[in-house]
Amino acid sequence: MNNPEFDSQHIWHPYTSLSQPLPVYPVKRAEGVYLELEDGRRLIDGMSSWWACIHGYNVPELNAAAQNQLQDMAHVMFGGITHQPAIELCRKLVEVTPAGLDRVFLADSGSVAVEVALKMAIQYWHSKGTPRNRFLTIRKGYHGDTFGAMSVCDPQGGMHELYQGFLPEHLFADAPQCRPQDEWQEEDIADFARQLAEHQHEIAAVILEPIVQGAGGMRFYHPHYLRRVRELCDEYQILLIADEIATGFGRTGKMFACEWAYITPDIMCIGKALTGGYIGHAVTVANHKVFDAFYSDDDRLALMHGPTFMGNPLACAVALKGIEIFERDDYMSKIRHIEQISRQEMENFSDPRIKEVRIMGGCTCVEVHDPKTLEGFQQFAYERGVFCRPFLNYMYSMVPYVISDEELIQIFDVMKDWFH
């Protein structure tokens, strides 16, 4: 049995039908922004491997960071042990995240970082003697594929709709309608404010993706909405969790999307770009108010969560080097330039089948009216030297920040050619 046959018969790929799967392309190596296939074909990666590989692939400095760390230790457990790579990474994260987020929990994936945040919030109220176990979020959100994370994803029309009735039932406010470029309308926050007031004594925390909702629909919303959420959480003394797994490290044009609204959450989840796609890792950072609720001589009040690979030294060493590169090479300027080219190429592009083109930072999304419009696009892009994988009724690019103008324009040309 050759490799393609074995793959198709024995390997479960994500988010695709088993009877009519999307095509899979055998990648031999990757470098820069290119995926090189076994047949020698090279594809520009328009996805940054699900938004993680912001530095591109096969980066000499990141390779060296991993190789140097490998000489000392690839992994040790983080229970009862600490090490320099973890300490230095956490020190840097306290420096670059919004002021006040200075307690760091190392996780091993974005979904786990969200699980940890939810557990922190529930245990916070338990420690205060007033247990709460519900969360308020907004529709069209996505927070991961594990059970706690799924429970705060939109249960209607989302990818986890099948699990309704099994997952805990939380509170979902109407999705924001005001876009960043619109004039703010206070009624946009009305349903959220109403639910927060009605359920204030049940809600452990509010959780949302700031400014850009990712896999739930690539929706961009007004920064004032987030500012009002922070104000309302303060008014009712409810914790705010910002899921920056997709938006963190510059994807929206700010280091963290919360900066658009000039707010700091009580808990923030970071992943994806943290290690530049080299090794799965994530963090949950919290403020002293959350941390202090766990400060007790009672062992039962400890945070009972400890992923096997939390604080993995290889991941920490690569993440620390990645942040150094991000700052040294002024990635925020690169992202602003990517947005400029994206607007130049795509902002005024229209077709009767297109509902809206949305651009922010390193995100470009083309929403169509009918998902069938995008059937076959992945193969179409492949034949033109681009890897771009649509989902639902969205065609989008989340490119590595090291992409050249010519490579970025080639991605957009393929998108536009699809409609011609």
The catalytic residue among 7, 15, 262, 413 is 15
The catalytic residue among 45, 108, 188, 243 is 243
The C-alpha angle 314, 115, 313, rounded to 5 degrees, equals 10
For residue 272, indicate whether it is catalytic: yes
What token pair was written down for 260? 């658009």
Question: Residue 44: enclosing H or E segment and its boundaries?
Answer: strand 42-45
Among 306, 305, 257, which Cα is nearest to 97's? 257
For residue 163, indicate whether it is catalytic: no
For residue 243, indicate whether it is catalytic: yes
The catalytic residue among 34, 57, 142, 278 is 142
Question: Residue 144: enclosing H or E segment and its boundaries?
Answer: none
3-state secondary structure of 91: helix
Are 312 and 281 contacting, i.e. CB atoms less than 8 angstroms apart? yes
The catalytic residue among 140, 254, 272, 334 is 272
Half-sphere exposure of 135 (CA within 13 A, CB side): 29
What pairing do the DSSP bridges indicate for beta strands 27-31 and 34-37?
A: antiparallel
3-state secondary structure of 394: strand
- Provide the phi-psi class of 48: left if phi over 0, else alpha when psi is between -120 and 50, else beta: left
CA–CA dist 205, 124 (Å, integer): 10
How many CB atoms sit inside 10 A of residue 123's CB?
Answer: 20
Tell me, what DSSP letter sits at residue 221? -
Among 372, 359, 420, 367, which Cα is nearest to 395's? 367
Catalytic residues: 15, 142, 243, 272
